[in-house]
């Protein structure tokens, strides 16, 4: 039997399922539209500023600092959304296996659903990003280094879109959508049929190796950071490519941070499981929320990771904004020798701060919405037992708070470790001036952001499910 | 009379060590074409396990399962899935149909997964729906059908094409008495047409439709009725008052 | 046995003589309960004594051998009232129908649990076999459109089913102290774990 046998039926199943859950489908599509919009915007901006003149450092910096975490957050949120859908599909998958679907068919269905949604969302993001960039172009233009012609006069940057770039963006979006759907697709293919039919969820075995790997990856990031700071402080100049790839610039903060955040992401399943075990007896809402979070690692872990990514970057940005770094004499000498201006970063920095805070809150709200959809049955039981609406609000608030707080702690840990590593190296790197630690920002992130998320969730805990109306004829 | 389904001293054990539990312990059973066998017993007796093993949804830890002459132990996952697409049909108690597909699409699904062209599979599906008397509901979605109609669609799917074995797990569980009787009538008719059927039920009235009733307890066959002789022509209802 | 009410029901439709009443009764129950004509006359006599029926004068009395064969009967007002009350009152089910089985089971209990389970299983198998026969008879009656016969077999099936369900319960109650959730796997020493 050919590998494509039954693909029409598979496609039909995937499409019908997407159409029957329009809310969730739109969510996944929207989540992947955002980074695509950013990427489209970035390609325009990169084209309109002079890469040679300003040096690739700054642009790549922005790129790494802004784009990668956003993509990571989006992909993780999409993964959470898909995980929620996959759980509901468990019974259906068991049924499909019972009527003769191969494991291959099951994986294909889930893959098609997720990848299809992501592609649609991503493609929608392109016109969105281009439109926003075009509208805000007059303002953004001032942040970019102007192109200088042979007489030294500035050429005003113009908004232009290059087809080749857009194709690249499309390819990127398709890849991200596919990668996000891979894990649930594999999980679907491995579903234990008899248990799925009986409605029993397979228990997830703890994977300590993942946590160990996460710590290792994070340590790599710290080592890189130390290395970058040391070399920088000693006045050692590395080739641009090496800098970009492993160390980044701007005191090496972006790339090592990416490594530490990646490591932290791998720690999230363990963190979520741990939270389920070490909860205090009171308040009861928190205990319930922690247990619930731990029981759904497929949804919770990516959500916590997304929050960690956003807040980790936020903390680092805060350290830059509160005390714009002196780049070090070596860098300045180098910059002067190249005829490059010191990049006017701060105003854009403040904008980035706002963007990242908003994005993090959006991630939290999205994940909360997903969690509410799943909790609807529990809420119905609570309602039947006579729980007041306030109980629902408290549960929603507790869940939101827990997810955000876990993400905040992990993100702060990642960012702080990077910043502290810089401080520690100072002893050996006399030329280097460290950025100050952003204490105010830290407190805000760890205390205020989760509180805001909790309040937002309490304000909209979700409708009660009305009891399913039987539409069948008598 | 060759058996369509044969279980030879089948054992199925969960867990390991001293917490091992035998859901089935040395069960032997043979079902011939055209025969309907009912399986009864208390919960935990192993009835659902038996059905899972008969269709290859699970593998026995001991013994052999043979369907239409094929030893299931020799088939890999894909082979077992193919078996369920072509030879074996399942009917469950409530969740049977995919909500996003119409009745006809649900019935045609296994054949389509097998690579049969949509048009041909759809034709087979309509023929099967006619056997269960639901031709005019072919385009309805499951949430537009009554409980009895949904079960009939499930039966149609389980017998479409060239299926030889039908495995039903409490198909009447969610239905009232009259609808349940209609379902049993459909099952009986399919078996009379040559399909071999295994019916797990806890209601004796439905077991009464079978040619043979097998009692399971603690994973073993503890009793079995004789093959029922056909009823005498104008026979008395019997009983004592 | 409510032969008298069945006769009243027949007479409520119109006057009838003895043999007519007998054949109507038998036809209604699908020839399942043949009714002795002597029983009919005895019942009619009792009904007349209680004032629920009276001879119907229209046919006239025609003396025949045996005396009463051709007499026609009709229902009285009191008879109609009694009939209405019969329809309105639920049938009293007092006592236990299959008490022989109960006696057997309780006796077996004294002999030990194994004995009880044996008896239960044997009875249940027999009941199921009976059920199978009744089900075929029912399918037959349904095919012929024989509604009274269908109702009768439905009743038998319901009773047999009730008995089978009760036997399941008996088995569960008598063995609940002994039975483990499922049989144990034989250990490697091959010691047979008792059930």
Calpha distance A68→A42 (Å, rounded): 12
Per-residue pLDDT, B209: 94
Residues of B in contact with A97 (CB under 8 A): 57, 81, 84
The answer to whether A342 touches A52, Cβ cutoff 8 Å, is no
CB contact (8 A) between residue B113 and residue A6? yes
Give the model confidence (pLDDT) of C72-111 as tens digits.
Answer: 899 999 999 998 888 887 777 766 666 778 888 888 887 7
Output the six-digit token pair for A162: 């290059």
The Cα diameter of chain A in Å comes to: 86
Instruction: State the count of interchain CB pairs (< 8 A) between B and C.
Output: 102
Neighbours of C64 (CB within 10 A): 10
Of the partner residues B22, B203, B204, the one whose CB lies closest to the CB of residue C185: B22
Calpha distance C84→C100 (Å, rounded): 35
Give the model confidence (pLDDT) of B200-236 as tens digits.
Answer: 998 999 999 999 999 998 889 988 887 755 544 443 3
CB contact (8 A) between residue C125 and residue B215? yes
Residue A154 dihedral angles phi and psi, to the nearest 5°: -80, 140
Range in A149-163, B88-102, C112-126 the model is least confident about: A149-163
Calpha distance B45→C182 (Å, rounded): 7
Calpha distance C174→C168 (Å, rounded): 10
Taking the C-alpha atoms of C28, C32, C36 and C40 in order, what is their torsion angle to the nearest 10 degrees?
-30
What single string gives the DSSP state of each residue in B119-183? HHHHHHHHHHHHHTT-GGGTT--GGGS-HHHHHHHHHHHHHSTT--EEEEESTTTTS-HHHHHHH
Neighbours of A227 (CB within 10 A): 17
CA nearest A24: which of A114, A158, A96?
A114
CA nearest C26: which of C46, C40, C42, C44?
C40
Q: For residue B157, give how far its alpha carbon lies from the nearest alpha carbon of chain C (Å).
A: 25
Across chain A, mean pLDDT equals 73
Q: For residue C125, give how far its alpha carbon lies from the nearest alpha carbon of chain B (Å).
A: 6
Suggest the residue from B49, B186, B189, B205 to mutate for an interface test with chain C (most C CBs closer than 10 A): B205
- Please report all neighbours of B, defined by 3+ CB atom pairs within 8 A: A, C
> Does residue A349 carry a pLDDT above 80?
no
The answer to whether A416 touches A438, Cβ cutoff 8 Å, is no
The answer to whether C54 touches C39, Cβ cutoff 8 Å, is no
The bridge status of strand A147-148 relative to strand A154-155 is antiparallel
> Does residue C65 carry a pLDDT above 80?
no
CA nearest A31: which of A107, A114, A89?
A114
Of the partner residues B205, B209, B219, the one whose CB lies closest to the CB of residue C183: B219
pLDDT (average), residues C104-126? 85
> Does residue B240 carry a pLDDT above 70?
no
| B46 band by pLDDT with thresholds 50, 70 and 90 | confident
Of the partner residues B21, B22, B204, the one whose CB lies closest to the CB of residue C131: B204
Per-residue pLDDT, A239: 60
Contacts 24+ apart (CB under 8 A), C56-59: C56/C15, C58/C15, C59/C15, C59/C17
Contacts 24+ apart (CB under 8 A), A153-161: A157/A48, A157/A49, A158/A48, A159/A44, A159/A48, A159/A133, A159/A134, A160/A44, A160/A47, A160/A48, A161/A44, A161/A130
Neighbours of B14 (CB within 10 A): 13
Report the Cα–Cα distance between both ends of chain B, in Å, rounded: 42
The Cα diameter of chain B in Å comes to: 61
Rounded to the nearest angstrom, the gap between the alpha carbon of residue A42 and the centroid of all alpha carbons in its chain is 18
The answer to whether B113 touches A102, Cβ cutoff 8 Å, is yes
What letter does residue B72 receive in the DSSP assignment? G
Of the partner residues A6, A95, A101, the one whose CB lies closest to the CB of residue B115: A6
Could you identify the residue written with the tokens 């901006």?
Answer: A45
Per-residue pLDDT, A56: 46
Q: Flag whether the ipTM exceeds 0.90.
A: no
Q: For residue B208, give how far its alpha carbon lies from the nearest alpha carbon of chain A (Å).
A: 27
* HSE of A320, CA atoms in CB hemisphere, 13 A: 25
Calpha distance C26→C16 (Å, rounded): 15
Suggest the residue from B15, B57, B78, B81 to mutate for an interface test with chain A (most A CBs closer than 10 A): B81
| A467 band by pLDDT with thresholds 50, 70 and 90 | very low
Q: For residue B26, give how far its alpha carbon lies from the nearest alpha carbon of chain A (Å).
A: 21
Helix intervals (H) in A385-465: 389-425, 439-443, 449-459
Q: For residue B214, give how far its alpha carbon lies from the nearest alpha carbon of chain A (Å).
A: 23
Residues contacting A85, CB < 8 A, separation 6+: A21, A24, A113
pLDDT (average), residues A309-321? 76
- Please report all neighbours of C, defined by 3+ CB atom pairs within 8 A: B
Of the partner residues A9, A98, A105, the one whose CB lies closest to the CB of residue B57: A98
Of the partner residues C131, C140, C181, the one whose CB lies closest to the CB of residue B208: C131
A304 or A150, which is more confident: A304
Find out whether the peptide bond into A283 is cis, omega within 30 degrees of 0: yes
CB contact (8 A) between residue B234 and residue C183? no
Range in A66-80, A120-134, C128-142 the model is least confident about: A66-80
A299 or A108, which is more confident: A108
Instruction: State the count of interchain CB pairs (< 8 A) between A and B.
Output: 90
Give the model confidence (pLDDT) of C3-19 as tens digits.
Answer: 888 889 889 888 998 88
Output the six-digit token pair for A237: 């100049």
Across chain B, mean pLDDT equals 88
CB contact (8 A) between residue B92 and residue A91? no
Calpha distance C168→C172 (Å, rounded): 6
List the domains of chain B with CATH numbers: 3-224 (3.40.50.300)
Q: Give the B-side interface with A, CB within 8 Å.
A: 48, 52, 55, 57-58, 77-78, 81-86, 89-90, 92, 95-96, 98-101, 105, 109-110, 112-115, 118, 143-147, 157
| C64 band by pLDDT with thresholds 50, 70 and 90 | low
Residue C176 dihedral angles phi and psi, to the nearest 5°: -60, -35
Output the six-digit token pair for A84: 């929620």
Where is B91: in which H helix or E strand?
strand B88-91
Q: Which residue of chain B is at minimal alpha-carbon distance from A473?
A: B146
A380/B contact by beta carbon, under 8 A: no
> Does residue A332 carry a pLDDT above 60?
no
A190/B contact by beta carbon, under 8 A: no
Torsion-angle region of residue C34: left (phi > 0), alpha (psi -120 to 50) or beta? beta
Give the model confidence (pLDDT) of A234-292 as tens digits.
Answer: 666 666 555 555 544 444 455 677 778 888 888 888 888 888 888 777 777 888 888 88
Calpha distance B184→C119 (Å, rounded): 30
What letter does residue B11 receive in the DSSP assignment? E
Instruction: Measure Cα distances from A18 to A4, A23, B24, C186 in Å.
Output: 21, 9, 40, 50
| B151 band by pLDDT with thresholds 50, 70 and 90 | very high
Could you identify the residue written with the tokens 């479409």?
Answer: B160
Q: Give the C-side interface with B, CB within 8 Å.
A: 1, 31-32, 97, 121, 124-125, 127-137, 139-140, 152-153, 155-161, 164-165, 168, 171-172, 179-185, 195
Per-residue pLDDT, A159: 74
Could you identify the residue written with the tokens 């068991």?
Answer: A94
The bridge status of strand B165-169 relative to strand B88-91 is parallel
Could you identify the residue written with the tokens 């025609």?
Answer: C62
CA nearest A250: which of A46, A65, A442, A440?
A65
pLDDT (average), residues B127-151? 92
CB contact (8 A) between residue A100 and residue B57? no
Helix intervals (H) in C33-179: 37-49, 77-88, 99-111, 113-144, 147-175
> Does residue A183 carry a pLDDT above 50?
yes
CA nearest B219: which of A197, C185, C125, C165?
C185
Residues of A in contact with B146 (CB under 8 A): 472-474
pLDDT (average), residues A412-431? 72
What single string gives the DSSP state of each residue in C23-46? HHHHHHTTTSS---HHHHHHHHHH
Instruction: Please classify residue B15 by burial: count the beta carbons closer than 10 Å to its beta carbon, then call 0-12 exposed, 13-18 middle and 19+ buried.
Output: exposed
Per-residue pLDDT, A474: 39
Q: For residue C184, give how far its alpha carbon lies from the nearest alpha carbon of chain B (Å).
A: 6
Per-residue pLDDT, A471: 39
3-class SS letters over C99-120:
HHHHHHHHHHHHHCHHHHHHHH
Per-residue pLDDT, C190: 37
A55 or C143, which is more confident: C143
The percent of residues in chain B predicted with pLDDT above 70, rounded, is 93
Rounded to the nearest angstrom, the gap between the alpha carbon of residue A180 and the centroid of all alpha carbons in its chain is 12
B142 or C180, which is more confident: B142
| A48 band by pLDDT with thresholds 50, 70 and 90 | low
CB contact (8 A) between residue B146 and residue A473? yes
The answer to whether A381 touches A467, Cβ cutoff 8 Å, is no
Helix, strand, coil % (nearest 5) of chain A?
A: 75, 0, 20
**Helix/strand/coil for A205:** coil
Per-residue pLDDT, A201: 64
The percent of residues in chain A predicted with pLDDT above 70, rounded, is 66
Q: How many residues does chain C have?
A: 195
CB contact (8 A) between residue B225 and residue C132? yes
Suggest the residue from B191, B225, B240 to mutate for an interface test with chain C (most C CBs closer than 10 A): B225
CA nearest B110: which of A97, C4, A264, C34?
A97
The answer to whether B59 touches B33, Cβ cutoff 8 Å, is no
């Amino acid at each position: 039997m050919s590998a494509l046998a039954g693909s029409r039926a598979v496609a039909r199943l995937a499409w019908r399922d997407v159409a029957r859950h329009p809310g969730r489908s739109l969510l996944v599509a929207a989540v992947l539209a955002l980074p695509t919009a950013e990427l489209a915007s970035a390609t325009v901006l990169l084209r309109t500023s002079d890469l040679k003149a300003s040096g690739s450092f700054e642009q790549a910096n922005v790129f790494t600092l802004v784009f990668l975490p956003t993509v990571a957050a989006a992909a993780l949120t999409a993964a959470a959304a898909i995980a929620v859908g996959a759980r509901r599909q468990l019974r259906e998958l068991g049924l499909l296996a019972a009527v003769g679907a191969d494991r291959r068919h099951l994986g294909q269905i889930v893959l098609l659903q997720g990848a299809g949604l992501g592609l649609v969302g991503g493609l929608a993001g392109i016109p969105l990003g281009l439109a926003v960039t075009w509208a805000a172009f007059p303002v953004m233009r001032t942040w970019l280094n102007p192109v200088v012609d042979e007489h030294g006069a500035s050429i005003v940057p113009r908004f232009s879109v290059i087809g080749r770039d857009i194709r690249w963006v499309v390819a990127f979006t398709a890849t991200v959508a596919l990668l996000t759907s891979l894990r649930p697709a594999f999980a679907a293919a491995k579903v234990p049929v008899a248990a799925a039919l009986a409605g029993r969820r397979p228990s997830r075995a703890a994977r300590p190796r993942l946590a160990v790997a996460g710590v290792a990856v994070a340590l790599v990031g710290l080592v890189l950071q130390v290395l970058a700071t040391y070399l920088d402080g000693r006045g050692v100049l590395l080739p641009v490519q090496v800098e970009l790839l492993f160390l980044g610039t701007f005191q090496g903060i972006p790339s090592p941070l990416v490594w530490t955040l990646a490591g932290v992401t791998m720690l999230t399943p363990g963190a979520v499981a741990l939270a389920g075990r070490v909860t205090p007896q009171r308040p009861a809402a928190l205990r319930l929320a922690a247990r619930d979070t731990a029981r759904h690692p497929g949804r919770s872990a990516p959500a916590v990771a997304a929050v960690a990514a956003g807040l980790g970057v936020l903390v680092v940005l805060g350290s830059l904004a509160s005390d714009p770094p002196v780049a070090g004499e070596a860098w300045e000498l180098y910059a002067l020798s190249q005829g490059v201006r010191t990049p006017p970063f701060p105003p854009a920095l403040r904008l980035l701060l706002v963007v990242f805070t908003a994005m993090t809150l959006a991630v939290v709200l999205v994940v909360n919405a997903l969690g509410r959809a799943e909790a609807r049955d529990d809420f119905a039981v609570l309602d039947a037992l006579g729980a007041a609406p306030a109980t629902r609000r408290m549960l929603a608030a507790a869940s939101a708070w827990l997810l955000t707080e876990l993400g905040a702690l992990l993100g702060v840990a990642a960012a702080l470790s990077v910043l502290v590593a810089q401080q520690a190296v100072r002893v050996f790197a006399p030329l280097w001036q460290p950025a100050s630690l952003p204490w105010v920002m830290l407190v805000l992130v760890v205390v205020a952001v989760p509180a805001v998320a909790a309040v937002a969730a309490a304000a909209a805990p979700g409708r009660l499910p009305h009891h399913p109306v039987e539409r069948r004829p008598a | 009379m060759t058996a369509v389904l044969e279980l030879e001293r089948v054992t199925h054990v969960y867990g390991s060590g001293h917490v091992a539990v035998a859901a089935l312990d040395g069960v032997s059973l043979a079902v011939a074409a055209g025969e309907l066998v009912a399986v009864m017993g208390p919960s935990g007796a192993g009835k659902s396990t038996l059905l899972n093993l008969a269709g290859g949804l699970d593998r026995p830890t001991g013994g052999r399962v043979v369907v239409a002459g094929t030893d299931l132990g020799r088939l890999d996952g894909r082979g077992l899935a193919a078996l369920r697409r072509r030879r074996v049909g399942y009917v469950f108690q409530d969740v049977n149909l995919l909500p996003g597909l119409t009745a006809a699409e649900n019935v045609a699904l296994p054949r389509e997964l097998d690579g049969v062209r949509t048009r041909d599979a759809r034709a087979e599906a309509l023929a099967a729906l006619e056997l269960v008397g639901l031709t005019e509901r072919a385009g309805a979605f499951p949430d537009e059908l009554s409980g009895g109609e949904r079960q009939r669609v499930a039966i149609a799917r389980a017998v479409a094409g060239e299926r030889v074995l039908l495995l039903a797990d409490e198909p009447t569980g969610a239905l009232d008495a009259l609808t349940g009787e209609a379902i049993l009538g459909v099952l009986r008719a399919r078996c009379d047409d040559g399909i071999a059927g295994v019916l797990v039920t806890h209601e004796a009235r439905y077991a009464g439709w079978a040619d043979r009733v097998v009692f399971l307890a603690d994973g073993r066959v503890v009793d079995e009725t004789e093959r029922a002789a056909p009823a005498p022509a104008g026979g008395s209802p019997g009983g004592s008052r | 046995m409510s032969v008298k009410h069945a006769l009243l029901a027949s007479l409520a439709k119109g006057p009838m003589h003895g043999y007519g009443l007998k054949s109507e009764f038998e036809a209604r129950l699908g020839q399942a309960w043949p009714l002795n004509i002597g029983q009919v006359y005895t019942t009619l006599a009792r009904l007349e004594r209680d004032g629920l029926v009276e001879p119907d004068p229209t046919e006239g009395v025609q003396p025949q051998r045996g005396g009463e064969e051709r007499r026609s009967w009709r229902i009285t007002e009191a008879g109609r009232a009694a009939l209405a009350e019969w329809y309105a009152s639920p049938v009293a089910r007092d006592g236990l129908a299959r008490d022989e089985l109960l006696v057997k089971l309780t006796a077996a209990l004294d002999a030990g649990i194994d004995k009880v389970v044996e008896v239960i299983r044997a009875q249940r198998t027999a009941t199921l076999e009976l059920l199978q026969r009744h089900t075929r008879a029912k399918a037959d009656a349904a095919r012929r459109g024989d509604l009274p016969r269908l109702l009768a077999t439905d009743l038998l099936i319901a009773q047999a089913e009730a008995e089978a369900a009760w036997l399941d319960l008996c088995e569960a109650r008598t063995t609940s102290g002994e039975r483990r959730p499922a049989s144990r796997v034989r250990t490697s020493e091959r010691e047979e774990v008792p059930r």
